[in-house]
Amino acid sequence: MIETTAETTTATPSQPADSLHLWSQLKNAEDAQAWVESHLQASRDRIADLLAANTARSAVETLGLYDQAAWHLRMAGSQAHVMFMVHPLAPVRDAAQQLSQLVAAEGVKLSLNRDVYQALEALDASSEDAATKYYLERTLLGYRLAGVDRDEATREKIRSLADKSTELGMRFARTVQDDVRKIEVADPNELRGLPADFLERFGVREKDGQLVADNPVVLTTDPPVLAPVMTYAASAALRRRMYLAYNDRGYPVNAPVLLDLLKTREEMAEVLGFRSWADLATVDQMMGSAANMRKFLSEVEHAARETAQREFTELEAFVRNRDPKALPLTLSDARFWEEQFRRAEYDFDSQSVRPYFPYEQVEDGILVIAGELFGVRFSRNKNAPVWHPDVKAFDVFEASTVEANPIGRIYLDMYPREGKSKWFSECSLVGGVLSKQIPEASLVCNFTQPTDKDPGLLQYSDVVTYFHEFGHLMHEILGGQQRWAGQSGIATEGDFVEVPSQMLEEFFERADVLRTFAKHYQTGEPIPAETVTRMTRASAHGRALSTLTQVMYATYSMETHDRRAAELDLDTLLREGYDRFSKYEFVDGNRMYAAFTHLVGYTSNYYTYLYDKVIALEFFAEFAHQSSDKLLTGAVAKRYRNLVLEAGGSKPAKEIVRDFLGRETSMDALRTWIGREFAA
């Protein structure tokens, strides 16, 4: 990074030409290997420099060598991981998976390197800036939590457990990524209720009041198929088949893999002197401990329970009236009946807004809104290397200057492909360093792809997801201008990372914001403000139920990492969770844990979503207090960019919250948000 030029000029012929982008000229496993190896070597070289005796070196210079070594490792690790998720060639994905593990192992080795720890511990940073002091303090804490001060045999044990966790986690994720289930629909009439453009995509048409197709209809569990089927298909049997297919992904292969992973983590926590993995994984987070997590989840449950009961009672009464045979309501009925309820009670049909959300228009609109809100502009860069022709690269510039140099680059990889990760996520690619290296990051999503004949109309929930992921992206870019690479981008405590994403979601409810881009794809008419009002009112119904669903996932993530692994029964625990938190009946055969990839990344800390929702709502309230013409361009937007996003990981997240709010957070905003539909 910092010495890119030097690296290029001294490159031997075997070294990759583009040291910043793994995907540039990536044709096979060997290319991937060579690129990753060159960064691993660069990292080792910095560490060797750091450990070489040099009395003339300042504390900042020594910390700088460590920072560069870690930057090279992160580059290699994050890009290998992203190629594992997105690369069109299966052999490259296989290699990337292996390489990801290799880099992780190198990272573990560095985290247990006692010489490096001692060299860093000896540094005197007392006269440095606050960010530098915090960086050193946080780095040393990370070393101690990794077990660097244990004896050799213990460190060896930790190393092997960490490597095993990495391997199991990657294996789990890979199985989910490759597992697309297919459902044959023998009678096209089962697709009744689905939107016309959906039917057309599957070659289904109406003839004499019947739905007919020339070829058998095969549905997949990919998000652009799954969501419409669960929301609109009138056939309860079809919905149930789809639900079970989706919630069976990864099963049975992943069940023992998950148990093994949980056991490995438990052992690791034990070796490090913690009661459970959940305690270890929260000790350096805002949350602090598993006990605090338990208390927090119970508070959220308490805040939602009464309203959830009310929502469900209303829904049940509605179904009893419409179709008593549809009772009792199961989890595979939830989305369909909630949609029917909203149509009848709120006069809001979610299909009616889809024509305002053709994919390309949504993308353009979000770029304009984010540009205004964050004071940047995006410029398509068609020369930037990408890993697939569908991927678009944009350079990000400061809006306020005519500065020729970008401050970052983003990539949008937005449609499903075979072998590509099936989820919606944001991924760091290149860590930024102030004045030396611009940050780069990507979205990896699965929206309906527009074609010449099909504008790719999104569901409104898709647009909310787009806002969410874009919030992460802006955090990465605007937080990516730090002195230290290790504090750059999304580098706060892990349980703060869902704040900027969920904060941006809130803008979706503002008619004035939506009307700037949500225009009917045939007439060009902006979405009526009154429709947005109905949409937001309707979508507020069911909030308490979905909050309890989040509490259920969070509890599952906590309990799997807080109980003894040997006594865990994944199915029983799942069933208990649904029985306790969901009002809907459990569907036998639901094994969602086998594809619950958050258990790999977030481990015990799925609570992050709820915890950060509280903060995000309070943050958004600061925006909402202003007059609406100031929403995007007022003083709050500037403060937010400056105090929250630009801070990156340069200070504790609790301090970031206080800087922006001027106070601590409370549960009030969440309570209001949950109960809004029933507020007097």
Two tokens at 100?
């990801």
CB of 439 to Zn ion, least distance (A): 18
Which is closer to Zn ion, CB of 46 or CB of 81?
81
Rounded Cα–Cα distance for residues 287 and 295 (Å): 10
Q: Is residue 428 near Zn ion by the rule CB under 5 A?
A: no
CA 346 to chain centre: 31
Nearer CB in complex with Zn ion: 501/557: 501
Between 136 and 287, name the residue whose CB sits nearer to Zn ion. Answer: 287
Distance separating alpha carbons of residues 518 and 353, to the nearest angstrom: 9
Of 251 and 470, CB closest to Zn ion: 470
Q: How far is the CB of 500 from Zn ion (least distance, A)?
A: 9
Partners of 410 in the β-ladder = 394, 441
Q: Which of 162, 595 has the CB closer to Zn ion?
A: 595
Range in contact with Zn ion (rule: CB under 5 A) among 28-36, 189-197, 224-232, 494-502: 494-502
Closer residue to Zn ion (CB): 501 or 547: 501
CB of 464 to Zn ion, least distance (A): 12
What is the closest distance, in whole angstroms, from the C-beta atom of residue 472 to Zn ion in the complex? 6
The token duo for 273 is 């002197």
What does the alpha-carbon distance between residue 225 and residue 179 come to, in Å, rounded to a whole number?
15
Structure-token match 């210079």, residue found:
61
The residue to which tokens 């949950």 are assigned: 674
Task: Indicate which single residue of 68, 501, 549, 665 sits in contact with Zn ion (rule: CB under 5 A).
Answer: 501
Cβ 502 to Zn ion, closest distance in Å? 7
Q: Which residue number, 487 or 501, has a Cβ lying nearer to Zn ion?
A: 501
Segment contacting Zn ion (CB under 5 A): 230-238, 499-507, 532-540, 541-549?
499-507
- Please, what is the minimum distance in Å from the beta carbon of residue 501 to Zn ion? 4
The region of 31-39, 347-355, 501-509, 630-638 touching Zn ion under the rule CB under 5 A is 501-509
336 HSE (CA, 13 A, CB side): 27
Please tell me the chain's helix, strand, coil percentages from 3-state DSSP, rounded to the nearest 5. 60, 10, 35
- Specify the stretch interacting with Zn ion by CB under 5 A; choose among 408-416, 496-504, 543-551, 594-602: 496-504
Separation of first and last alpha carbons in the chain: 57
* Total residues in contact with Zn ion, by rule CB under 5 A: 1
Q: How far is the CB of 647 from Zn ion (least distance, A)?
A: 18
Query: Which C-beta is closer to Zn ion: that of 19 or that of 501?
Result: 501
Smallest distance from Zn ion to CB 44, Å: 33
Select the span of 68-76, 457-465, 480-488, 497-505 touching Zn ion (CB under 5 A).
497-505
Q: Which residues pair with 210 in a beta bridge?
A: 207
Closest approach of Zn ion to the CB of residue 250, in Å: 21
Stretch that binds Zn ion, among 280-288, 339-347, 370-378, 500-508 (CB under 5 A): 500-508
Task: Tell the smallest beta-carbon distance from residue 447 to Zn ion (Å).
Answer: 16
Question: How far is the C-alpha of 253 from the C-alpha of 250, rounded, in Å?
Answer: 6
Q: Provide the minimum distance between the beta carbon of 593 and Zn ion in the complex, in angstroms, as a whole number.
A: 20
Q: Where are the alpha helices (DSSP H) in 59-202?
A: 59-86, 90-111, 114-121, 130-146, 152-178, 196-201
Measured between alpha carbons, how far is 46 from 41 in angstroms, rounded to an integer?
A: 9
Helix (H, G, I), strand (E, B) or coil at 395: strand
Report helix, strand or coil for 376: strand
For residue 49 the two structure tokens come to 């420099």
Axis crossing angle, helix 498-505 with helix 460-478, rounded to the nearest 10: 140
| Sign of CA pseudo-dihedral 323, 327, 332, 337 | positive
Residue 133 phi, psi dihedral angles, 5° rounding:
-60, -45
Place of tokens 């998950």: 258
Binding segment toward Zn ion, per CB under 5 A, in 2-10, 123-131, 493-501, 541-549: 493-501
- Closer to Zn ion by Cβ: residue 332 or 501: 501
Count the helices and strands in the chain (H runs, E runs). 26, 9
Min CB(366)–Zn ion separation in Å: 15
Q: Which two tokens mark 93? A: 């994905």
Q: Which amino acid is at 635?
A: A
Piece in contact with Zn ion (CB under 5 A), picked from 37-45, 341-349, 495-503, 533-541: 495-503
Q: Rounded CA gap, 247 and 265, in Å? A: 25
Closest-by-Cβ residue to Zn ion is 501
Instruction: Please report, as a single letter, which amino acid is at residue 264.
Output: T
Residue whose CB is less far from Zn ion, 100 or 501:
501
Closer residue to Zn ion (CB): 488 or 501: 501
Q: Based on CB atoms, which residue is closest to Zn ion, 394 or 606?
A: 606
- Helix 90-111 / helix 130-146 crossing angle, nearest 10 deg: 100
CA distance 388 to 281: 36
Closer by beta carbon to Zn ion, 23 or else 607: 607
Q: Which two tokens stand for residue 361?
A: 């228009």
Q: Which stretch binds Zn ion (CB under 5 A): 332-340, 498-506, 630-638, 648-656?
A: 498-506
State in angstroms the smallest separation of the CB of 462 from Zn ion. 15
Binding site for Zn ion (CB under 5 A): 501
